[in-house]
Structure 1
Amino acid sequence: MSVPKCPHEGCKSELGVESCKKFLPPMLIEMLQGRIKEASIPVTEKVYCPYPRCSALMSRSEISEEYAKNAFVGSERSGARKCIKCHGLFCINCKVPWHNAMTCSDYKILNPNIPAEDLKLNSLATKNKWRQCGKCNNMIEHTEGCWHMTCICGHEFCYNCGAERKNNRPTCSCPAWDVRRIWFDNHGDFDDDDLF
């Protein structure tokens, strides 16, 4: 998202958040600031607080390691970080609240169950045939066009099978698009005889 432009016809000036405070309610100003911050952080740098009551967005570079370094020996290797909003400790590697006195491997062995929220998302993704980017794990929905996808992180892959594209070429043998889907979207019911 970019900074909004002046709504006056022909004016190309950008509206700063400060100038919008004069006519937007505080809730919308806060939302605008959040959207601008979200757009300014590269996908691979985004970190969300794992505490449900917080869920603050942070960049990897702004996460405070100081408290974690002072509180835990070797924390920079273990992944302990402190949320900039709620100040809760969490593991940057596991994306969960801090697992004290436990390595990430031990935590994963002792907590093999996927959280209910993740199960719901995975179920919704399966139902809607969404794909997950192999690089940044963002969910992607194919709405039209060929199977060649470029995620917002820049990773290119085949939506049909998930194979990565290398040197601007597919590494799979999937067709470029689904003929049945194109026909159905434009004509309704599909019959194999419609191809010929």
Structure 2
Amino acid sequence: MATLLCALDDEIVAVSLQIEDVDQLSNIAEPPLNRPRDLDQARAAYRAELELQLSILKDRKHARDITQALISDVPAIAFLLSQDRQIRDDQRLARQMSGLSVNNEDIAIDEDALHLENAIVAQDITATGTESCDANPSNTVEQCQDDLTDDLSTQQKCAACFYTFPSHAMAALPCDHEYCIDCLKRLFTDATKDQSMFPPRCCRRQIPLTLISSSLSERELKAFQEASVEFTTTNRLYCSNKSCGSFVPPSRYDRMSDRAECAHCGRSTCIHCKGVPHSGGCPEDAAMKVTFDLAKDEGWQQCQGCSSLVELTVGCYHMSCKCGHQFCYLCGARWKTCTCVQFEEERLLERAAEVVAREAPVPAAPENMRDVLARAAETRRVANNLRTAHECAHRGRLIHVTGATNAAHISVIAASGIDSDKRFTGGQASATLLMVMDIAIDFDGLHGA
């Protein structure tokens, strides 16, 4: 920005000097009768053009000064708006999961805040996006103005939030979809916290970090890079300190002592049993023995990629773990390397009933016998379709669905007594007894990634 302001100052000085040169030529003492009249008119016209250009340059410099002052406040304003909108989204999701109504006024406020937030981001990009025009001295003022007008007049719709923004405030993805900066940034920050969303992708194609890295803060970029190392590491190691539980990357392993030091709390962890350091062979973890005995009795399966425990309640036997490992739920082998069946008839019918309930309209009155029979027939039809044309794409968690019941019940395994923000796997020695909880996740309004 400082370079651009200096360039404007240089142009203003250059035009001012040209005006002085014209004035000096006009003041040359010549007999009035011998001075050509056409030459006087040409000088006057040239001077008027220079004065117009000087006025435009001064106006642009003044506008730059104002913009520079505003840009310094953009990060703080955008952060506050983003935090406020995140709180409202969490409150709305909690009310939906609890069966409570959502205040329409809150939705309207969120939409207004989103417009303002995106306008601020677009303003920041516009201020930096026009620098290429200013940096080229061969461009005239008219050319710069025309280019800027064309950019502002071209509007694109974001594939995630469906709002429209100037084309220069959008990011073109490898799948040809376009995201606004705010939505793309949120996708990357969410992927940092949720492995099921990592790596960030659209239409199953990975989104390059270079598209949004300039809009991420230093802390956000570092967090994403650290998450990238964690989520791509197999058989991960986490700090044995229960109050820490941070991921320990392989670069901190000491193969000589079979220990790894945590970069956050400084505690060491055994890289074999993943417990506290010890001498001799790894001791047996009584809590984990109880956990795996329970898993065996309940028929849970263990992921060979990250040692997490998984319980299947509905759907096919194709398991796609959050770590990326895909395996058969019946035998635990890598997917498509065994001869097990793909699904069980009872679970198939449960899945068909979920599909029918999701796509059915909301009934205006209690269902009569005809509606019940029609729903049963539709369930059988969907079950037959799933049986003959089975396809489990496992697109991920963010899938846009509509219908009467926009919720899916998922059984997950959570560690009792452990902070939910800590990432513990089923094979970790410090984990306590695992419990199965039924959680209703509302998919309404989520856009497919």
- TM-score strictly above 0.5: yes
* 3-state SS of paired residue (1:180): helix
Residues 39, 131 of structure 1: CA spacing in aligned structure 2 closer, same or farther, 3 A cutoff?
A: farther
* 1:83 aligned residue: 262
* Correspondences of 1:42-191 after superposition (within 5 Å): 42-44=232-234, 46-61=236-251, 63=252, 76-100=255-279, 102=280, 107-108=281-282, 111-112=283-284, 114-116=285-287, 118-119=288-289, 121-122=291-292, 125-126=295-296, 129-165=299-335, 169-172=336-339, 174-184=340-350, 186=353
Per-residue deviation, 1:128: 5.5
Q: TM-score, normalised by structure 2?
A: 0.28
* 3-state SS of paired residue (1:176): coil
Residues 81, 39 of structure 1: CA spacing in aligned structure 2 closer, same or farther, 3 A cutoff?
A: closer
Query: Following the alignment from structure 1 to structure 2, what is the Cα–Cα distance between the partners of residues 136 and 58?
Result: 14
Question: What is the aligned residue count?
Answer: 145
Identity %: 28
The one-letter code matched in structure 1 to 2:242 is P
Higher percent of residues as helix: 2
Higher relative contact order (CA 8 A, sep 6+): 2
Query: Following the alignment from structure 2 to structure 1, what is the Cα–Cα distance between the partners of residues 237 and 222?
Result: 14
Q: Which has the larger radius of gyration?
A: 2
Residues 37, 47 of structure 1: CA spacing in aligned structure 2 closer, same or farther, 3 A cutoff?
A: farther
Runs of 5+ consecutive residues of structure 2 not aligned to the other structure: 1-81, 86-113, 115-160, 166-179, 190-219, 354-375, 377-449
Query: Following the alignment from structure 2 to structure 1, what is the Cα–Cα distance between the partners of residues 223 and 290?
Result: 25
Give per-residue Cα distances to partners, 1:74-131, cap 9 Å, x unaligned.
x53331221112211221122111114x3xxxx23xx23x242x24543664566431
CA contact (8 A) 2:317 2:342 kept: yes
CA contact (8 A) 1:43 1:152 kept: no
* 2:175 aligned residue: none
Q: TM-score, normalised by structure 1?
A: 0.56
CA contact (8 A) 1:38 1:57 kept: no
Runs of 5+ consecutive residues of structure 1 not aligned to the other structure: 1-5, 18-31, 66-74, 188-196
Query: Following the alignment from structure 1 to structure 2, what is the Cα–Cα distance between the partners of residues 99 and 123?
Result: 25
The one-letter code matched in structure 2 to 1:87 is G
Per-residue deviation, 1:60: 1.8
CA contact (8 A) 2:303 2:325 kept: yes
The one-letter code matched in structure 1 to 2:273 is C
